[in-house]
Amino acid sequence: MSSSHSPYLACVAQAAPVYLDLAKSVDKAQTLIAQAAREGAKFIAFPEVWLPGYPWWIWLDDPSWADRQGLRQLFQEQALRANSDELAAIARSAADHGMHVLMGAAERDDERLYISQWLIDDAGQIRMHRRKLKPGPIELKVFSEGGHRDLAVVDTALGRIGALACAEHRHPLFKHALHLQHETLHVAAWPSFPLKNIPHMPSAQTFLALSRSYAFEGGCYVLAPCAPVTPDVVARLCDTPKKSDCLQAGGGYAQIFAPNGEPLCTPLPPTEEGLLYAQIDPQKSIAARQAFDLSGHSARSDVVRLQGPADLSAPAGSSGVTP
């Protein structure tokens, strides 16, 4: 049996970064990678914008407030750059511990910021670097959009791996583009769910349902990392009672879902940090698609078909994305 078809242990991080401190957060990431490796894991997934932490102030006040507090400038300075020493340090940890790592970060490219995800393999090589295609309306105050190349699934020794960030899981066509590429493992990265009393904000259970349905629809395992917000972050950002009513400590709801949509982990309390583990068997993903395959026998490409500017086609004879 090839390594890509062999079961392995994977984990999701329900852990907070050292808020707005890139160097210390990278140190913490390395500690968590080492901890997961000691427990026998071969893959670890981190939340969305884990480096250097999600900019929660965009939900709480006008951007001018963040400017006066120096938050926007600090966030820009602490964002992760490609080809940086910090990214190299994470890659070294992946190689040293024989781990695949999916890291979520705010990426700085010149003066632009992106919500990005890096997949690093167990040799320390970057296998995927993607940017969130469509940040939410509030996030667009800070982040730029990704492009058509950011819907990729890559072959690894652990199987075919893809990723999306947060509300990208509300886009049926984004999800379908990855389903067509035969993922065996998908990372559904979320930042945290600490926001309250904000109109039209879904609950954590609603967001978890998106991760769960992704697993069932795509016939793949879904790792859903999520970071709790710590009391010191709330104290730092909430200088009025109204803000304190909107941003609360906690919000960690990490989970791992099987290809049949069932949760595989006992959840941690929303305020608690830790790692959640589950056994991944790529053969079960293959079996799930034999029962229901959106890229093959369960598709109706003669009626509906996904088309885009990039060739993300599934194997010949299947329902794929066409240029």
Query: What are the DSSP calls for 119-163, one per residue?
Result: EE-TTS-EEEEEE-SS--TTGGGT-----GGG---EEETTEEEEE
Q: Is residue 208 part of a domain?
A: yes
Q: Is residue 308 part of a domain?
A: no
Alpha-helical regions (H) of 196-292? 204-218, 231-237, 241-246, 282-291
Q: Is residue 17 part of a domain?
A: yes
Residue 313: pLDDT over 90: no
d(CA 11, CA 37): 10
What is the reported pLDDT for 77? 97
d(CA 44, CA 15): 12
Higher pLDDT, 294 or 73: 73
Residue 315: pLDDT over 50: no
Give the pLDDT mean for 229-255.
96
Residue 38: pLDDT over 50: yes
pLDDT 10s digits, 74-105: 999 999 999 999 999 999 999 999 999 999 99
What is the reported pLDDT for 96? 98
Q: Is residue 227 part of a domain?
A: yes
Residue 4: pLDDT over 60: no
Residues serving a catalytic function are 48, 132, 166
Q: Is residue 297 part of a domain?
A: no
pLDDT 10s digits, 40-65: 999 999 999 999 999 999 999 988 99
**81-95, 204-218, 305-319: least confident range:** 305-319
Q: Is residue 66 part of a domain?
A: yes
Predicted TM-score of the model (pTM): 0.92
**120-134, 194-208, 260-274, 284-298: least confident range:** 284-298
Mean pLDDT of all residues belonging to the chain: 91
SS3 of residue 249 by DSSP: coil
Tokens representing 83 are: 């080809």
Q: Comparing C-alpha atoms, which of 8, 4, 103 is closest to residue 51?
A: 103
CA torsion 208-213-214-216 (nearest 10°) is 130
Amino acid at 251: G
Give the pLDDT mean for 118-141.
96
What is the reported pLDDT for 310? 52
What is the reported pLDDT for 309? 61
Q: Give me the domain span that covers residue 250.
A: 3-291
Residue 171: C-alpha distances to residues 128, 145, 163 (Å):
21, 15, 13
With both helix axes pointing from N to C terminus, report the angle between 204-218 and 172-179 in degrees, rounded to the nearest 10. Answer: 30
Amino acid at 186: H
What is the reported pLDDT for 320? 37
Residue 240: pLDDT over 70: yes
Match 């981190």 to its residue by tokens.
46
Query: What is the domain-level CATH number for residue 259?
Result: 3.60.110.10
Residue 298: pLDDT over 80: no
What is the reported pLDDT for 71? 96
What is the reported pLDDT for 283? 86
Q: Is residue 317 part of a domain?
A: no
What is the reported pLDDT for 287? 78
d(CA 102, CA 123): 14
What is the reported pLDDT for 318? 35
Give the pLDDT mean for 228-238.
97
pLDDT 10s digits, 59-80: 999 889 999 999 999 999 999 9
Give the pLDDT mean for 192-209.
92
Q: How confident is the model at residue 303 (pLDDT cuts 50, 70, 90)?
A: confident
Domain count, the chain: 1
Give the pLDDT mean for 120-133.
97
What is the share, in percent, of the chain residues with pLDDT greater than 70?
93
What is the reported pLDDT for 272? 97
Residue 270: C-alpha distances to residues 1, 87, 204 (Å):
39, 28, 10
Q: Which residues pair with 102 in a beta bridge?
A: 45, 119
Long-range residue pairs from 298-303, CB within 8 A, at least 24 positions apart, any chain: none
Residue 95: C-alpha distances to residues 43, 45, 89, 99, 278 (Å):
12, 15, 10, 6, 21
Q: Is residue 249 part of a domain?
A: yes
**121-131 burial code (b ≥16 CB/10 A, e <16):** bbebeebbbbb
- How many C-beta atoms lie closer than 10 Å to residue 197's C-beta? 10
Beta carbons within 8 Å of 106's beta carbon, 6+ residues apart: 49, 51, 52, 55, 75, 78, 79, 80, 113, 114, 115, 116, 143
